[in-house]
């Protein structure tokens, strides 16, 4: 059986993504080599402790950054370790206890400040004095952190025209690294995806028409996301895979028409010109959706004995949506072609020895499909197949071992490929002998070509990569018509009509070549990254979603930032480009406010649009737990039910103390809502129904249950959990 460990997968997302239930994927599945470490014997592992959560934070960076290796030690009998240590680049180092206890888990840390671009390998070992345990190693040690020269904190979305290397406009995303970009064929719209947001632009302006975001802000440190984005030929529809969600939008609103949970991050996406079909590749499946959100295909190859079937990479769909091609990583390593009805038309044999088949490109008539491969020097790195699955030719080179980029002209006559050695090749469909070769290699600069695209008519070709260069070619010559230098590496490109779009980033190059050498540098200062907890907090905010904007909620209607009445009613309740006339949320249903654009004030409905006044402590007609959790957080369909939260009080966390005394007129009503004590002490006020029991939803309007102050429940996660449970009529006090 093939050694799966030759296909080691590197997870580029931080370990925090696990904590947030975002399924991880690998951005590359490149092989690396270091010494094979002899395994611990069965005798050595007898009565051993446990080691887990073996990580390095951050997972990548520049020299002179303070990196922290972490591992958690636990022992079922609570025995302290005789040692916890890290093997790091051939040397053993003792680790220091940071927190925790020995039975539940104690975290140990080791700090490391690299002063060069040298690769780093590590694993952990611990003993309780009897047995030994290891983490961060299978056959060979883990790799990390990865060292780069770029900080990736000045990222861009770039729009150019083919007749000039002067940008039409640029849009800066800072630390929020772009992942993908797509142009409508009519040249009117540009859609872009970052690690946190989906943007739609008019090509006439660098001001977004709208923005959809999850955490809604600039990340505390650069983080590369996965996913992909596509746009219909007329720009009317946008489909994007962001984190573990698939979203489908109309061009007029950042409120999605529908969304779907795809369970893991996608590695790429494509859509038919009319927007009717959406194909995407995920960590282990090829998926196909209709524009109504119907799942048409979910394909997963079987590989007994392997924990994963292989990542499905970015698909390429014919313009009419009839077919789409895709590829897989280890252990599958094949080329695929599917039809729009979900039929598998062909599945190739395994095309590489131990590396992914990376990208695919299909002609509009589906007669020709080109595939790029991660391989080794002298092996085939570009292959051309027919629709029937027949391999027409393969290209190999003694100068190249991996082709990261591939494109095919719409008519299938020409194929282009870009390699990690900085070469761009142009082929005819009739021969594996290149028509021309461009070399961007440099003795001092890394130049992996990461993405390429033919123009709609096939006469021009654009490509870019780690040299921060974008190159435009005519198919007639290997001499670039022009070059453009971006702030960071070029990560993705598109070419439609006269327009060329590009985004910067590192998705295509993660864990590949090293731009900086191993010569030590002097660290005049140490870069302290934001804490892992700070990054976790940023992503724990990740539910901004529909209608969210990075500045939405600041009481300023910012039309230049993409805010409108529809995208941010809390700021723009006045409508259009006019700052708000009536502040949505002020308890007044203004003349320009409705239940649709400001349900905080106007969801009560009625002929005059009278407000129900969310936040007044009463669950009024039209209010429920979904549209007014402040008043109705206990649930219900229009009557006071469950827990009433005025905003001054919070749900009680992890205790049974729900006993309060409150006033009703001049009479005191005392009752108990203890989860096990259902005793209700009747009030002397005979108009009140004596029912404070949290499971008895018959509190009269004059009864207002009070709860412990916020200070008694200061754990944010507990508050959120209680609030979520409250939406379903539950909570810890139930």
CA 240 vs CA 183, 191, 267, 435, 616: distances in Å: 13, 9, 11, 36, 39
The reported pLDDT for the residue numbered 698 is: 31
Sheet holding 403-408, edge to edge: 403-408, 414-419, 423-428, 436-439
Please provide the average confidence, as pLDDT, over all residues in the chain. Answer: 76
For tokens 């290149």, what's the residue? 434
- Cβ atoms of 727 and 634 within 8 Å: the answer is no
Residue 17 has a pLDDT of 32
Closest CA to 493 of 447, 438, 453, 455: 453
Query: Tokens at residue 588, please?
Result: 């007044």
- pTM (predicted TM-score): 0.69
Per-residue pLDDT, 264: 84
pLDDT for the residue 375: 75
Instruction: Say what the pLDDT of residue 653 is.
Output: 35
Secondary structure of 545-569 in HEC code, one letter for each residue: ECCCCCCCCCCCCCHHHCCCCCCCH
Q: CATH for 4-147, among 3.40.50.300, 1.10.3470.10, 3.40.630.20, 2.60.40.10?
A: 2.60.40.10
Give 572's contacts (C-beta < 8 A, 6+ positions apart): 557, 559, 563, 564, 565, 579, 580
DSSP 618-670: ---TT--TTT-HHHHTT--SSS--S----SSB-PPPSS----EEEEETTEEEE
Residue among 170, 179, 257, 178 at smallest CA distance from 208: 170
Q: Where are the domains of the chain?
A: 4-147, 155-517, 629-734
Q: Which residues of the chain have pLDDT under 50?
A: 1-33, 513, 543, 546-551, 559-562, 566-567, 574-582, 591, 603-611, 634-734
Please answer whether residues 51 and 73 qualify as being in contact, where contact means their C-beta atoms are separated by less than 8 angstroms.
yes
Write the pLDDT tens digit of every residue in 285-344.
999 999 999 999 999 987 766 656 678 989 999 999 999 999 998 888 999 999 999 999
Name the pairing type of β-strands 286-290 and 277-282. antiparallel
How many angstroms separate the CA atoms of 100 and 536, rounded?
19
Are the C-beta atoms of 683 and 691 separated by less than 8 Å?
A: no
Which residue from 550, 547, 591 is spatially nearest to 570, judged by alpha carbons? 547
pLDDT at 594: 60
Other residues' Cβ atoms within 10 Å of the Cβ of residue 613: 19
Phi, psi of 536 (to 5 degrees): -60, -40
Preceding peptide of 331 cis, ω within 30°: yes
What is the rounded CA–CA span in Å between residue 585 and residue 589? 9
Terminal C-alpha separation, the chain: 56
The CATH code of the domain at 155-517 is 2.130.10.10
Q: Are 67 and 109 in contact (CB under 8 A)?
A: no
Residue 330: predicted pLDDT: 82
Residue 237 · residue 528 · CB < 8 Å: no
Looking at residue 596, its pLDDT comes to: 57
- What 3-state class would DSSP assign to 288? strand
Rg, C-alpha atoms of the chain: 29
Give per-residue pLDDT as tens, 123-153. Answer: 999 999 999 999 998 778 999 998 888 889 9
Question: Dihedral sign, CA of 146, 151, 157, 163?
Answer: negative
Contact, 155 vs 488, CB < 8 A? yes
Which pLDDT score is estimated for 623? 60
Quote the pLDDT of residue 215. Answer: 87
At residue 422, the pLDDT reads 92
- In the block, residue with structure tokens 């494109």: 407
Cα distance between residue 169 and residue 617, in whole Å: 50
Structure confidence at residue 437 (pLDDT): 97
3-state secondary structure 259-275: EEECCCCEEEEEECCCC
């Amino acid at each position: 059986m093939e050694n799966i460990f030759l296909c080691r997968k590197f997870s580029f997302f931080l370990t925090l993504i696990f904590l947030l239930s975002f399924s991880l994927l690998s951005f590359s599945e490149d092989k690396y080599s270091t010494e094979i470490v002899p395994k611990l014997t069965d005798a050595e592992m007898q009565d051993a402790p446990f080691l887990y959560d073996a990580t390095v934070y951050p997972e990548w960076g520049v020299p002179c950054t303070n990196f922290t290796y972490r591992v958690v030690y636990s022992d079922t009998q609570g025995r302290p370790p005789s040692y916890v240590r890290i093997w790091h680049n051939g040397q053993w180092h003792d680790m220091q206890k940071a927190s925790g206890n020995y039975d539940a888990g104690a975290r140990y840390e080791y700090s490391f400040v690299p002063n060069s671009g040298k690769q780093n390998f590590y694993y952990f070992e611990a003993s309780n004095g009897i047995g030994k345990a290891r983490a961060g190693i299978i056959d060979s040690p883990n790799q990390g952190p990865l060292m780069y020269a770029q900080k990736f904190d000045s990222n861009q979305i770039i729009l150019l025209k083919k007749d000039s290397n002067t940008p039409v406009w640029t849009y800066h995303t800072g630390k929020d690294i772009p992942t993908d970009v797509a142009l409508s064929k009519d040249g009117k719209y540009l859609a872009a995806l970052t690690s946190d947001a989906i943007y739609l632009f008019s090509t006439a302006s660098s001001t977004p028409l709208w923005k959809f975001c999850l955490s809604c802000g600039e990340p505390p440190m650069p983080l590369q996301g996965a996913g992909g984005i596509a746009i219909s030929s007329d720009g009317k529809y946008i489909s994007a895979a962001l984190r573990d969600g698939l979203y489908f939008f109309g061009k007029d609103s950042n409120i999605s028409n529908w969304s779907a949970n795809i369970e893991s991050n996608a590695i790429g996406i494509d859509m038919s010109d009319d927007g009717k079909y959406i194909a995407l590749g995920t960590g282990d499946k090829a998926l196909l959706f209709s524009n109504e959100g119907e799942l048409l295909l979910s394909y997963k190859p079987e590989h007994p004995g392997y924990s994963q079937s292989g990542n499905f990479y970015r698909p390429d769909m014919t313009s009419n949506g009839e077919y789409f091609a895709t590829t897989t990583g280890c252990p599958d390593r094949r080329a695929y072609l599917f039809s729009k009805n979900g039929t598998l038309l062909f599945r190739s044999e395994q095309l590489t020895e131990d590396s992914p088949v990376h990208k695919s490109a299909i002609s509009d008539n589906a007669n020709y499909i080109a595939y790029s491969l991660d391989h080794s020097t002298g092996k085939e790195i570009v292959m051309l197949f027919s629709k029937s699955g027949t391999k027409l030719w393969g290209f190999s080179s003694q100068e190249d071992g991996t082709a990261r980029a591939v494109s095919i002209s719409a008519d299938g006559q020409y194929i282009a490929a870009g390699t990690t050695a900085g070469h761009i090749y142009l082929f005819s469909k009739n021969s594996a002998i290149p028509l021309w070769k461009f070399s961007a290699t440099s003795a001092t600069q890394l130049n992996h070509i990461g993405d390429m695209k033919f123009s709609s008519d096939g006469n021009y070709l654009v490509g870019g990569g780690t040299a921060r260069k974008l190159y435009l070619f005519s198919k007639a010559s290997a001499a670039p018509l022009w070059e453009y230098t971006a702030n960071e590496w070029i990560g993705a490109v598109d070419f439609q009509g006269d327009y060329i779009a590009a985004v910067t980033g590192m998705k295509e190059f993660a864990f590949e070549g090293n731009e900086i050498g191993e010569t030590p540098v002097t660290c005049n200062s140490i870069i302290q990254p934001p804490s892992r907890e700070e990054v976790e907090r940023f992503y724990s905010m990740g539910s901004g979603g529909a209608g969210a904007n990075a500045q939405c909620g600041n009481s300023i209607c910012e039309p230049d930032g993409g805010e409108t009445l529809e995208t941010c009613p809390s700021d723009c309740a006045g409508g259009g480009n006019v700052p708000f006339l009536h502040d949505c949320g002020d308890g007044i249903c203004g003349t320009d406010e409705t239940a649709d654009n400001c349900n905080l004030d106007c969801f009560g409905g009625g002929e005059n649009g009278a407000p129900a006044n969310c936040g007044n402590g009463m669950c009024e007609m039209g209010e429920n737990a979904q549209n007014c959790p402040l008043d109705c957080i206990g649930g219900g369909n229009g009557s006071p039910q469950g827990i009433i939260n005025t905003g001054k009080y919070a749900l009680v966390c992890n205790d049974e103390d729900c006993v309060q005394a409150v006033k009703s007129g001049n009479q005191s009503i005392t009752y108990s809502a203890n989860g096990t004590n259902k005793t209700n002490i009747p009030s002397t006020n005979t108009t009140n129904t004596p029912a404070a029991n949290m499971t008895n939803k018959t509190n009269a309007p004059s009864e207002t249950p009070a709860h412990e102050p916020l200070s008694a429940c200061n754990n944010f996660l507990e508050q959120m959990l209680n609030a979520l449970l409250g939406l379903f009529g539950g909570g810890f006090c139930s």
